[in-house]
Amino acid sequence: MAQARWDAIHDGRPEGRGTPHLSNVLPTWLRAGPRGGARSWGADVAVAGALVVAFYLVLLLATSGLGRGAGATITLRYRALPLYALYSTARMAAAYVLSLVFSLVYAYVAAFNRTAERVLVPLLDILQSIPILSFLPTVVLALTNVFPHSSLGAEIASVVLVFTSQAWNLTFSFYNSLLTVPRELREVAHLYRLSWWQRFRQLELPYAAVGLVWNSMMSWAGGWFFLMAAEMFTLGHRSFQVPGLGSYLQRAAASGDTPAVAAGILTLVAVIVALDQLVWRPLIAWADRFKIELVGGQTPPRSSVLRLLRRSSIVDWANRRIVLPLMEAIDGGLSTAGQPAERRGMGEPGRRIAYLALLCAVAVLAAAALWHAGTLLLRIPGGQAVSLPLAAGLTTLRVAAALAISALWTVPVGVFIGTNRVWADRLQPVVQILASIPASALFPVIVVWLGGGLGLTSVLLMLLGTQWYVLFNVIAGAMALPQDLKEATALFGLGRMERWRTLILPGIFPYLVTGLITAAGGAWNAAIITEYVRAGNQTYTAFGLGSLIAQASQHAQYPLLLGSTLALSALVVGINRLFWRRLFRLAANRYTLL
């Protein structure tokens, strides 16, 4: 059966004996995409101009003194906005590269090693849910001590903190994709004895491409959301800030300078639109070829930038002379014939010894950390310690409400966008802009406008930062629905409700679960800025773990900060193990393309 489906989706057959050449055995959706047509000198001019602009921007970053001087001053002059936008984009790019590498390695190890999975997946649950302010004291103080006479420590800390808002949904997306690769394709990979690297590059990574692209867009949106906290933060009486759009918006909001806030948001929108046209739209059009389907889509996504790149002689030359030889060298070094790795446990005795040694080292470090943490927790006042369970319960209710509201509107809207190419092209930039605008800059205005305490307002504020995780994953799931299955539902005359029950909901279920898990992590993380809002000279609070963490960080109350963070971590791990993990396994075992 596997061989029959393989024959149906590839147009070449292996010849000879032994391991066949990949160009003969791979299905069409794993091969190179269509050519861009005849070469154009206009495309070459555009590519050359883009290279010149990129070189100038890199040179500007290298010569601007970024990270060299301590105590950066944030100016609200409009002419500083282009340079601040460049600074923030560079930090976001660095954090994204770090997030992508982390996600690919972390998810791959967790997916193919059962022993590691038992540790890595719960650890990922904790890491994605620890608020960004809980990372601040350790990361910032450590890096500023390493670089005491420059702002380089604050720059690196800013990148690391943006990384904490980008990495987790990418990791969950790739992990989910690895668990849901169709069994028949894995059987064919086993049949042709593809090495782990061949299987990773030619099967698993392409299969995950659609989800990774849309979650990359969500990672950037999440990075913009927390940019204000990452570029300008305080610990006690010490202030750490780096120049960028986030620090500009935070200072403008704190100063009550509405025109400056508007100028900063307009600049951010311009950056988002430029990235959408130059990066995300071409990637979405490129990733469409990795869908598993027997019938091609009628209206595939298009990108003028991607078409221009395919028609450029410069890009073609770089691909033939640089990229392909480099990939062949990497393939030659990593692609050794052998059976694909399966999910396994400890393995041979040598590996067991290595694991035991690693566990002993981790145990020693954990014991030391627990000793110091215990001495710090004993310093929490009794009244604050007793209030932690109540704070945890209230924050849990707000997170649950935000997730429920998110799912109610994002599922139908996401399916509509993902299954309608015309509207997808129209709404993608709009969704990207709305998801990327740092709502934290608007929180003071929203709180003052709604009036009263936070209460239900904190749920609305939390919704503004978490609903996009669900929407982007639902869109990715809807776009990944095979065209042949959609045509089959039309052929059998299924009504709208039957089509939702038999195709759409089962098809998007793995993506929906991934979106809800990452949205839950984002909601726990967003609690620190939705339960503790400063508007002008007044502070609004909603009692919960988020407000306790924010106040502890603001006033350098490290015992309370640690206690609140541990309570949040225990709560999140318990919910994830009892609820989200079961949904994740259900998605991997039942709702996959078999």
Task: Report the distance separating Cα 103 and Cα 128, nearest Å.
Answer: 12
Rounded Cα distance, 249 and 85, in Å: 11
Tokens 């282009």 belong to which residue?
Answer: 82
Neighbours of 142 (CB within 10 A): 12
Q: Judge contact between 195 and 335, C-beta under 8 A.
A: yes
* CA–CA distance, 276 with 274 (Å, rounded to integer): 5
Angle, helices 545-554/132-146, rounded to nearest 10 degrees: 20
Q: Are 229 and 529 in contact (CB under 8 A)?
A: yes
Torsion sign (Cα): 474, 480, 485, 491: positive
> CA torsion 69→73→78→80, rounded to 10°?
0
User: Which residue, among 571, 560, 544, has the nearest Cα to 137 in the 3D structure?
Assistant: 560
What's the CA angle centered on 182, arms 181 and 185, to 5 degrees? 100
524-555 burial, b at 16+ Cβ within 10 Å, e below that, comes to: bbbbbbbbbbbbeeeebbbbbbbbbbbbbbbe
- The secondary structure element, H or E, covering residue 579 is none
Nearest 5 degrees, angle CA 28-CA 34-CA 36?
170
The strand pairing partners of 538, in sequence order, are: 535
Each as own residue / partner, the long-range contacts of residues 553-558 (CB below 8 Å, 24 or more positions apart, any chain) are 553/133, 553/134, 553/136, 553/137, 553/235, 553/528, 554/234, 555/236, 556/137, 556/235, 556/236, 556/237, 558/137, 558/376
- Read off the amino acid at residue 191: L
Burial 41-72 (b: 16+ CB within 10 A, else e): eebbebbeebeeeeeeeeeebeeeebbeeeeb
Looking at residue 132, its amino acid is I
Q: Which two tokens stand for residue 78?
A: 């409009």
| Distances in whole angstroms, Cα of residue 568 to Cα of each of 228, 393, 516 | 23, 10, 18
473 SS3 class:
helix
Q: 436, exposed or middle or buried, with CB in 10 Å at 0-12, 13-18, 19+?
A: buried
Task: Give the DSSP per-residue string, 200-258.
Answer: IIIIIHHHTHHHHHHHHHHHHHHHHHTHHHHHEEEETTEEEE-SSHHHHHHHHHHHT-H
Q: What angle do CA 287, 106, 223 make, to 5 degrees?
A: 65
Query: Nearest CA to 236 among 528, 548, 552, 529?
Result: 552
Sequence-distant contacts of 110-116: CB under 8 A, at least 24 apart? 110/175, 111/175, 111/178, 111/179, 111/343, 112/178, 112/341, 112/342, 112/343, 112/344, 113/343, 113/344, 113/345, 114/343, 114/344, 114/345, 115/345, 115/346, 115/355
**DSSP annotation string for 313-356:** HHHHHHIIIIIHHHHHHHHHHH----PPP--B-S-SHHHHHHHH
Mean pLDDT, the chain cut into blocks of 10 residues (594 residues total): 42 37 39 51 81 83 64 80 90 92 91 81 73 62 69 79 83 86 82 83 86 85 76 67 84 79 86 86 83 60 80 84 82 59 52 70 74 71 78 88 91 88 76 71 69 73 83 85 79 83 86 85 79 72 82 75 80 81 78 64
DSSP result, 90-157: HHHHHHHHHHHHHHHHHHHHHHHBHHHHHHHHHHHHHHHHS-HHHHHHHHHHHHHHHSTTSSHHHHHH
Q: Cβ(8)–Cβ(294) under 8 Å? A: yes
Residue with tokens 């040694």: 357
The pLDDT of residue 11: 38
pLDDT of residue 340: 42
CA distance 253 to 443: 10
Max Cα-Cα span within the chain: 78
**8 Å CB contact between 518 and 435:** no
Q: How far is CA 301 from CA 202, 289, 304, in A?
A: 22, 10, 10
Query: Taking the CA atoms of the chain, what radius of gyration do you get in angstroms?
Result: 25
What the block records as the tokens of 166 is: 């980008």
Q: State how far Cα 482 lies from the chain centre.
A: 24
d(CA 64, CA 73) in angstroms, rounded, equals 14
Quickly count: other Cβ atoms within 10 Å of residue 239's Cβ.
10
CATH superfamily for 81-292+300-364+388-589 is MetI-like (1.10.3720.10)
Contact 575, 125 (CB under 8 A): no
3-state SS, residue 381: coil
| Ramachandran sector of residue 236 (left: φ over 0; alpha: ψ -120 to 50; beta: rest) | left
Give the pLDDT of residue 104. Answer: 92
Q: Is the pTM of this model over 0.75?
A: no
